[in-house]
């Protein structure tokens, strides 16, 4: 039993779940069952807190912030060490995010701006988003409920810091201006914040605003749909994007640990890596993935990827989100 988020199995457009099940079962004498609880990884945290058994063997689709939250809320380990996973040595440099060796990355994405080039020209900098000409032009996501929104928030923390008494100085170097100040200015410029990536992307697709916080692989999806790529342009603000590697791990309570690790090795197979990337509209985690020749033209990578490490987020990310929520709702 492999747990994951719903869109990994049943996205409105494409998703890798059905293909992975068929391919895994064709290679192994085993049956793969997907589990997609509404609360995603929080479902298993709550079960562990209540002393209820974990009814899955592997979790697929958590990021650094998720792992930080899991470890902060549980005394006992939810996940076991990965151990010997075939293909783990092929994971690209910089993607591994678990200092305790439990999580193994299986894909990654970069959170950027996606904009309709027939309606606007997205600004090149964070400050440009505050210009009057872009008033009401951006749709983002709530960082408390959306991984995409959280990544964008973290990018603003990286850029502007978290205040004079905080732990992050910020690239702009102004101690009197932090990420909350920036968000106050965004809010004054009528940024629209919706609950989930689905909500935001649907609103953008319906023409409710010309820019949306999304992923730099957007043209992969657009090309599949036969869309006009001019309406699906990518902007790396300040030539950067926030990197969001997704990991998988074996539950510590699994009664099939060997099969669980075989599944993780299967996920890193070159053919499987290529299929996951295309069907999950992402980048593969490994250097050995089999991809179409034109994939690199459609899936764009920033010159300067930005991310926070596990140690940098531990003890901080929850406070950053709570402060943002207090301010945003209060305003």
| pLDDT tens sequence across 164-190 | 888 999 998 888 999 999 999 999 999
Q: Domain 110-242+308-330 falls in which CATH fold?
A: D-Maltodextrin-Binding Protein; domain 2 (3.40.190)
Q: Check whether 112 has a pLDDT greater than 70.
A: yes
Q: What is the rounded (10 degree) CA torsion for 10, 264, 306, 301?
A: -70
- Whole-angstrom distance between the N-terminal and C-terminal Cα of the chain? 44
DSSP states along 143-207: TTT-HHHHHHHHHHHHHH-S-TTSS---TT--TT--HHHHHHHHHHTT-EEESSHHHHHHHHHTT
Contact indicator for 311, 62 with CB cutoff of 8 Å: no
Contact indicator for 204, 211 with CB cutoff of 8 Å: yes
What is residue 331's predicted lDDT score, i.e. its pLDDT?
Answer: 74
What is residue 194's predicted lDDT score, i.e. its pLDDT?
Answer: 97
Q: Check whether 160 has a pLDDT greater than 70.
A: yes
**Count of Cβ atoms closer than 10 Å to residue 81 Cβ:** 12
| Mean pLDDT, rounded, for 39-58 | 96
Q: Which residue, chain included where needed, has tokens 């207090």?
A: 326
102 — pLDDT class (breaks 50, 70, 90): very high
| Mean pLDDT, rounded, for 199-206 | 97
The residue ranges of every structural domain in the chain are 2-109+245-300, 110-242+308-330
Contacts of 156 (CB under 8 A, 6+ apart): 126, 179, 182, 183
Contact indicator for 115, 128 with CB cutoff of 8 Å: no
119 — pLDDT class (breaks 50, 70, 90): very high
What is residue 164's predicted lDDT score, i.e. its pLDDT?
Answer: 85
Q: Which residue, chain included where needed, has tokens 């970069």?
A: 110
What is residue 12's predicted lDDT score, i.e. its pLDDT?
Answer: 64
Q: Which residue, chain included where needed, has tokens 């690790």?
A: 261
**Count of Cβ atoms closer than 10 Å to residue 118 Cβ:** 10
146 — pLDDT class (breaks 50, 70, 90): very high
Higher pLDDT, 214 or 224: 214
Of the candidates 292, 285, 297, which has an alpha carbon nearest to the alpha carbon of residue 91?
285
Distance CA 65, CA 56 (A): 21
What is residue 97's predicted lDDT score, i.e. its pLDDT?
Answer: 98
Q: Check whether 304 has a pLDDT greater than 90.
A: yes
Look up residue 41 and give its DSSP letter.
Answer: H
87 — pLDDT class (breaks 50, 70, 90): very high
DSSP states along 265-283: HHHTSHHHHHHHHHHTTSE
| Mean pLDDT, rounded, for 98-113 | 98
Distance CA 273, CA 253 (A): 27
208 — pLDDT class (breaks 50, 70, 90): very high
Q: Check whether 34 has a pLDDT greater than 80.
A: yes
At residue 109, φ and ψ (nearest 5 deg) are -140, 170
Q: Which residue, chain included where needed, has tokens 């899936």?
A: 299
Q: Check whether 214 has a pLDDT greater than 90.
A: yes
At residue 284, φ and ψ (nearest 5 deg) are -65, 155
Query: Can 2-109+245-300 and 110-242+308-330 be said to share one CATH topology?
Result: yes
Question: Among the residues of the chain, which ranges form H helices?
Answer: 6-10, 17-27, 41-49, 64-73, 147-160, 179-188, 197-205, 218-224, 257-267, 270-279, 295-298, 310-313, 317-330
What is residue 289's predicted lDDT score, i.e. its pLDDT?
Answer: 97
Q: Domain 2-109+245-300 falls in which CATH fold?
A: D-Maltodextrin-Binding Protein; domain 2 (3.40.190)
Give the chain's radius of gyration (CA, Å). Answer: 20
| Mean pLDDT, rounded, for 272-287 | 96
Mean of per-residue pLDDT scores for the chain: 96
């Amino acid at each position: 039993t492999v747990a994951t988020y719903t869109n990994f199995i049943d996205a409105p457009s494409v998703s890798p779940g059905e293909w992975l099940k068929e391919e895994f079962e064709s290679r192994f004498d085993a049956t793969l069952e997907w589990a997609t609880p509404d609360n995603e990884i929080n479902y298993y945290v709550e079960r562990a807190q209540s002393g209820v058994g974990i009814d899955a063997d592997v979790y697929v689709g958590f990021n650094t912030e998720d792992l930080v939250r899991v470890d902060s809320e549980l005394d006992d380990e939810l996940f076991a060490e990965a151990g010997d996973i075939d293909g783990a040595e092929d994971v690209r440099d910089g993607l591994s995010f678990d200092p305790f060796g439990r999580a193994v990355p299986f894909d990654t994405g970069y959170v950027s701006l996606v904009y309709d080039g027939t309606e606007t020209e997205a600004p090149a900098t964070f400050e440009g988003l505050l210009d009057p000409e872009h008033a009401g032009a951006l749709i983002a996501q709530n960082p408390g409920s959306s991984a995409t929104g959280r990544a964008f928030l973290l990018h603003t923390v990286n850029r502007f810091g978290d205040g004079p008494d905080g732990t992050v100085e910020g690239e702009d170097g102004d101690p009197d201006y932090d990420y909350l100040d920036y968000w106050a200015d965004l809010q004054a410029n009528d940024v629209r914040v919706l609950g989930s990536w689905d909500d935001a992307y649907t609103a953008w697709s319906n023409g409710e605003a010309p820019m949306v916080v999304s992923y730099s692989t957007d043209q992969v999806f657009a090309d599949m749909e036969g869309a006009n790529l001019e309406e699906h342009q990518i902007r790396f603000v300040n030539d950067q994007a926030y990197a969001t590697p997704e990991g998988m791990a074996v539950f510590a309570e699994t009664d099939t640990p060997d099969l669980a690790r075989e599944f993780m090795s299967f996920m890193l197979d070159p053919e499987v890596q290529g299929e996951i990337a295309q069907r999950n509209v992402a980048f593969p985690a490994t250097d050995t993935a089999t991809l179409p020749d034109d994939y690199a033209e459609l899936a764009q990578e920033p010159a300067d990827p930005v991310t926070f490490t596990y140690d940098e987020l531990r003890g901080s990310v929850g406070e950053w989100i709570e402060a943002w929520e207090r301010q945003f709702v209060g305003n």
